[in-house]
Amino acid sequence: MSTNRLSSLTLSSKKLTPSSVTPTPTPPTPWVRPIDWLALPVLTDTDQQFTGLYQVTDDDSCACAFIAAGAYTVDWGDGTTDNYTTGATAEHFYTYSNVNLGAVTSGGWKQALVTITPQAGSNLTSLNFGVRATGFNTVYSTGWVDVVVASAFLTSFGFYSTLVVARNLEKATIVKDNLTTAWAMFYDCVSLQSVELLDLSSLTDASYMFYDCYSLQTVPLFNLSAVTNATYMLNSCYSLQTVPLFDLSSLTNASHMFNSCYSLQSVPLFDLSSVTNASSMFYNCITLPSVPLFDLSSLTVASYMFQNCYSLQSVPLFDLSAVTYMGYMFQYCHSLHTVPLFNLSAVGHTDFMLSGCRSLQSVPLFDLGAATYIYGMFYDCYSLQSVPLFDLGAANEASYMFQGCYSLQTVPTFNLSSVANVTGMFNNCYSLSSGVVNNISTSIGYMNCRLSATALNDIYTALPTVVGKTITVSGNWGVATDDPTIATAKGWTVTG
């Protein structure tokens, strides 16, 4: 069987790559239904019916397949009607020349109105359009372009599977349902521009619901009051510019919820008081300039939450008192000038938390007393001029903590007695003119700093006696006249 149209479509669509240059978003363009598309029926809460407009193409390989429950009848829209038992696969192959099909549209395809209704004594409880037709061995896109469904008994509905996707779907309307999960409902519907989800009051799982819906610019205010899991819900909705004030009061998992929404310009004050995991929630939201004061009092995982938010200029004083892991939370927030004095008393991981924040000039005295892993925390903070005397008493890993802080001139006398690794801690701090640390027992780097001979000798003097450790000082102008024997007499190898 020929599959020239369907098999030619692949799932390896080109992903957008964010850059450090923030794009200027264009205003949302309302979706307009083409005037030559066949009209869909107006369904009400009391109906049990699905109707969808299906593309029929001139390639002798146009097929439609799905599974429904309970017992159901399908009008294929070309003069053919079939009955199926509950759970049976419905399958139909279209003939382009069939005189019962609608007229050729401006898009170059004919159209069939496919209608699914329950048989007498049955209810429409499930619709699965992620079914591959017989004879097709590759992943392909179905022909759905506009659909409407209503059934108070509908508990399962979706278009995605690993076998087929609905990349032609432009509009979807759910009038009435009893859905508890919308997992991957519109996954990879890259053409979807208009959704009307009028009743989602029973929904608890919205994960992956609109994943990779690249064309979606807006979403309506649908009921998410019972949803606990919204991970990846709007992930990679590249064109999404605004979102309404969803009721998220029951939400606990918001990880990746708006990940890579490149055009998102604002978010409302969601109730996030129950959220425990917001990892990558706004990752790659490169046009987002600010966020409101969310209640994050229950949050424990904040890793990558705002990573690559290039336009984010400030953040409010979130309650982070319960957070234990916030690695990469603000990494590459290039426009962030300041950060408030967050309560980090419970945080164990701050690795790369503020790395790449090129505009950050100062930081408050965070309580890092519980932090064991602070690897690269301020890596490449080019504008950072000073840092306070953090308590690093619990730290075990502090490698590259200040590497690339070009403007950092001095650092306090940190106590590094418990730190097992500080590799490259001060490397490429081109303006650093002093950097004495106490109680260090592991190798350390001051490569390419601005240390004079006196400053280097002060650092050597503060070093304890060790065995087999190295201090790297190459690239400092003071190495021509310093006295490395101060360090070598204590068992240190001086490189540079």
| pLDDT value of position 187 | 97
- Residue 17 confidence (pLDDT) above 80: no
How confident is the model over 93-117, as a mean pLDDT? 94
How confident is residue 26, by pLDDT bands cut at 50, 70 and 90?
Answer: low
Of 102-111, 246-255, 338-347, the least confident: 102-111
* CA distance linking residue 423 with residue 276, whole number of Å: 33
Query: Per the structure block, which two tokens stand in for 289?
Result: 């300039």
How confident is the model over 189-211, as a mean pLDDT? 95
- Residue 131 confidence (pLDDT) above 70: yes
- Beta strand pairing status for 164-165 and 140-141? parallel
Which pLDDT tens digit goes with each residue over 297-315?
999 999 999 999 999 999 9
How confident is the model over 53-65, as a mean pLDDT? 89
* DSSP assignment string, 328-389: TTTTT-TT---------TT--B-TTSSTT-TT---------TT--B-TTTTTT-TT------
How confident is the model over 330-352, as a mean pLDDT? 97
| pLDDT value of position 5 | 35
Of 1-15, 230-244, 344-358, the least confident: 1-15
- Residue 89 confidence (pLDDT) above 60: yes
Q: What percent of the chain has pLDDT over 70?
A: 95
| pLDDT value of position 22 | 46
How confident is the model over 69-92, as a mean pLDDT? 97
3-state secondary structure of 296: coil
Q: In 3D, which of 110, 233, 221 has the Cα closest to residue 182?
A: 233
Which pLDDT tens digit goes with each residue over 359-412?
999 999 999 999 999 999 999 999 999 999 999 999 999 999 999 999 999 999
Give the amino acid at 333. Answer: C
Average pLDDT in the chain:
93
* CA distance linking residue 280 with residue 257, whole number of Å: 8
- Residue 9 confidence (pLDDT) above 50: no
Q: What percent of the chain has pLDDT over 90?
A: 90
How confident is residue 137, by pLDDT bands cut at 50, 70 and 90?
Answer: confident
Entry pTM: 0.91
- Residue 440 confidence (pLDDT) above 60: yes
| pLDDT value of position 27 | 72
DSSP collapsed to 3 states, 216-284:
CCCCCCCCCCCCCECCCCCCCCCCCCCCCCCCCCCCCECCCCCCCCCCCCCCCCCCCCCCCECCCCCCC
How confident is the model over 90-98, as a mean pLDDT? 95
Q: In 3D, which of 128, 143, 153, 136 has the Cα closest to residue 47?
A: 153
- Residue 18 confidence (pLDDT) above 80: no
| pLDDT value of position 24 | 56
- Residue 206 confidence (pLDDT) above 50: yes
How confident is the model over 186-214, as a mean pLDDT? 95
Which pLDDT tens digit goes with each residue over 251-268?
999 999 999 999 999 999
**Measured distance between the N- and C-terminal CA atoms of the chain, rounded to whole angstroms:** 71
250 with 274: CB under 8 angstroms? yes
Give the amino acid at 354. Answer: L
- Residue 492 confidence (pLDDT) above 70: yes
- Residue 54 confidence (pLDDT) above 90: yes
DSSP collapsed to 3 states, 450-467:
CCCHHHHHHHHHHCCCCC
Give the amino acid at 200. Answer: L
Which pLDDT tens digit goes with each residue over 155-189?
999 999 999 999 999 999 999 999 999 999 999 99
Query: CA angle, 12 as apex, 6 and 14 as ends, to 5°?
Result: 120
